[in-house]
Amino acid sequence: MNTEALRELVEEIPDFPEPGILFRDITPILSTPPALRAVVEHMADAVNRHAPDGIVAIESRGFLLGSALALHMHLPLLLVRKPGKLPRPTRRASYELEYGEDALEVHVDDVRPGHRYAVVDDLIATGGTCLASIELLRQHNADVAVAAFLIELSTLGGRHRLDTPVASVLLYN
Ligand code: AMP
């Protein structure tokens, strides 16, 4: 399935979850097997070029694509989660939201120092979520080979906040 067909499956929901946000709903892709396969193959092609040692998936829609990608690429899968979800010792990075602040955590002993990871999420907007994930990995002396997304909202400039290569399947202006 080509990228134009994938784009047609992404639903645009105005004013969700709050007024002024145009939410990009990827669930029609998840419920269309050839579409999900195409997404994984497009992302794997882009990620493979950077030869990462593992996939780091960001909660929560990043888990869906990250786990499929890790399976497809035969790579270890690590989770970056919202605070209080991971049961073993964690490290935390905080980041700014439009209103207020949030944080992400990773299991300390899941991250291998010296490894280069592909960070995966469904969408990059301002880049804050991905930036916090990159910071977490670097706190463990690991690094990021590439940040990979299904969707990039290019007008929000997220990719310019990251000092890593960025790969996205669908670009929206
Ligand atoms: P950001 O940190 O601004 O790059 O936001 C990225 C995170 O917020 C991702 O985990 C997305 O799932 C979610 N997100 C932000 N904006 C949207 C949007 N317009 N539609 C769907 N998800 C979004």
- Give the chain's end-to-end CA distance (angstroms, integer): 22
Query: What's the confidence (pLDDT) of residue 98?
Result: 66
Low-confidence ranges of the chain (pLDDT < 70): 98-99
Q: Which of 24, 64, 79, 123 to mutate to test the pocket of ligand 1 (most atoms within 8 A of CB)?
A: 123
Query: What's the confidence (pLDDT) of residue 120?
Result: 98
Residues with Cβ within 8 Å of 87's Cβ and at least 6 positions away in sequence, in order, are none
Query: What's the confidence (pLDDT) of residue 111?
Result: 98
Residue 52 near ligand 1, beta carbon < 6 Å:
no
Residue 21 near ligand 1, beta carbon < 6 Å:
yes
Residues taking part in catalysis:
61, 98
pLDDT in tens, 133-173: 999 999 999 999 999 999 999 999 999 999 999 999 999 99
H or E element at residue 23: strand 22-25
